[in-house]
């Protein structure tokens, strides 16, 4: 079986490439390397440097490779940046999806697994969040992911392109051998920023708000290991290949950790104290986001396996090995 992975050089994409290859799939990667890293590309996969908005090039790749299915990660994904540059997000994410779906339709590829986000829900009161929770994104990033889901819904009805949309909560951790992991520029995510303190690259971690209505006043998130996410993608493709109908699934552990608890977990992995300072709230941060993962468990038979300790341990190994990230740009 041949799977075309769009955005396979990025954080979540590269870990998926690894697992699909390990599970015996033939993998073709398409990535424009805008935010992805060539160092994260598995040599066993075939690689095309291509921006999916270049229709002629993308179509030629599809015609040549004739994949059995597509897994789509290629998108801009920084919430804060999306507030300042919404048009770039619409172009990369929404227009990119437009071209991808056109090419799939024209080349007869009718299965796609899509990298969506809990950001489609926005600020939700009632936890845990189920797939039926209303979607009200509060930033352009989340809006684009929701628009991309809706594009797939209508293309399913019109052209029979079946999809599985996976709404991730907080992706975290790294591959067990620490060869690949999380490297964003700029880095805005909590775990890599916490680990920059013991690496000597940052004096302290700023905790954005300690006056939330949560057990210790800091924000609660549902951190899910990157290889648990990857496992869900393989299951989703298998589900579609077996003829499953289009679906949306949340991917999270169903458990939430506060920012303070994450710092304690990092101290345990690192083996020394990590200096923190309380700072103002970050605009747009909901107090808590916790997934109900029942649907993914019931339909995909998915079960997250990595503990919080393992998330921190793998992240710490990766950042020790790559203190400046991949350093390949
Ligand atoms: N945080 C800090 N200090 C920091 C960085 C983050 O206290 O220096 C806090 C944030 O306020 C938040 C938590 O740590 O409460 C996690 O923040 P991240 O930036 O790591 O992740 P987010 O929850 O903001 O974002 C994640 C994904 C997004 C997705 C969003 C909503 O990274 O892609 O969840 O689903 F849009």
User: pLDDT tens digit string along 243-284?
Assistant: 999 999 999 999 999 999 999 999 999 999 999 999 999 987
Give the pLDDT band (50/70/90) at residue 139.
very high
Entry pTM:
0.97
Q: Ligand 1 pocket check: which of 221, 262, 311 to mutate, most ligand atoms within 8 Å of Cβ? A: 221
Please give the sequence-ordered ranges of beta strands (E in DSSP) within the chain, or none if there are none: 2-6, 26-31, 46-49, 69-72, 111-117, 162-168, 170-172, 205-208, 220-221, 223-225, 247-251, 257-258, 276-279, 288-289, 323-326
Using the predicted structure, report yes or no on whether residue 232 has a pLDDT greater than 90: yes
The sign one gets for the Cα dihedral 173, 176, 182, 183 is positive
What's the CA-to-centroid distance between 25 and ligand 1, angstroms?
33
Tokens at 41, concatenated:
């590309």
Give the range among 105-114, 145-154, 184-193, 257-266 with minimum mean pLDDT: 184-193
Please give the sequence-ordered ranges of beta strands (E in DSSP) within 169-304, or none if there are none: 170-172, 205-208, 220-221, 223-225, 247-251, 257-258, 276-279, 288-289
pLDDT value at residue 259: 98
Tokens at 160, concatenated:
């029979």
pLDDT value at residue 276: 98
d(C-alpha 242, C-alpha 164), whole Å:
13
Residue 243 main-chain phi, psi, to 5 deg: 100, 15
Using the predicted structure, report yes or no on whether residue 142 has a pLDDT greater than 90: yes
Residue with token string 């648990």: 228
Whole-number Cα distances in Å, 326 to 26, 49, 205, 318? 25, 18, 22, 10
Across residues 200-223, what is the average pLDDT?
Answer: 97
**Residue 165: beta bridge partners?**
114, 248
pLDDT value at residue 18: 98
pLDDT value at residue 80: 87
Q: Per-residue pLDDT tens for 45-70?
A: 999 999 999 999 999 999 999 999 99
d(C-alpha 29, C-alpha 6), whole Å:
6
The 3-state DSSP composition of the chain as helix, strand, coil percent (nearest 5) reads: 40, 20, 40
What's the CA-to-centroid distance between 286 and ligand 1, angstroms?
9
141 belongs to the catalytic site: yes
């Amino acid at each position: 079986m041949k799977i075309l992975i769009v955005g396979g050089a990025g954080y979540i994409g590269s870990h998926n490439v690894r697992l699909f290859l390990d599970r015996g799939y033939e993998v073709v990667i398409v990535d424009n390397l805008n935010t992805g890293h060539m160092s994260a590309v598995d040599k066993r996969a075939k690689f095309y440097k291509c921006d999916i908005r270049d229709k002629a090039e993308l179509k030629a790749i599809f015609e040549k490779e004739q994949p059995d299915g597509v897994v789509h990660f290629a998108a801009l994904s920084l919430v804060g940046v999306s507030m300042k540059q919404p048009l770039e997000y619409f172009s990369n994410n929404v227009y990119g999806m437009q071209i991808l779906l056109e090419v799939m339709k024209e080349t007869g590829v009718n299965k796609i697994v899509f990298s969506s986000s809990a950001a489609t829900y926005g600020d939700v009161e009632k936890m845990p969040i189920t797939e039926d929770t209303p979607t009200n994104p509060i930033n352009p990033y989340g809006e684009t992911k929701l628009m991309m889901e809706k594009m797939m819904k209508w293309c399913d009805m019109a052209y029979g392109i079946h999809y599985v949309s996976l709404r991730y909560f907080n992706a975290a951790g790294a591959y067990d051998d620490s060869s690949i992991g999380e490297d964003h520029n700029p880095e805005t995510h909590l775990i890599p920023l916490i680990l920059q303190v013991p690496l000597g690259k940052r004096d302290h971690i700023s905790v954005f708000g300690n006056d939330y209505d949560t057990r210790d006043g800091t924000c609660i998130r549902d951190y899910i290991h990157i290889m648990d996410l990857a496992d869900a993608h393989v299951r989703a493709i298998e589900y579609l290949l077996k003829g499953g109908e289009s679906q949306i699934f949340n991917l999270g552990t169903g458990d939430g950790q506060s920012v303070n608890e994450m710092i304690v977990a990092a101290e345990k992995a690192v083996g020394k104290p990590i200096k923190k300072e309380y700072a103002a709230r970050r605009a747009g941060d909901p107090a808590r986001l916790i997934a109900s993962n029942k649907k993914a468990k019931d339909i995909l038979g998915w079960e997250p396996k990595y503990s919080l300790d393992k998330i921190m341990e793998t992240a710490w190994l990766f950042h020790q090995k790559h203190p400046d990230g991949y350093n390949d740009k």
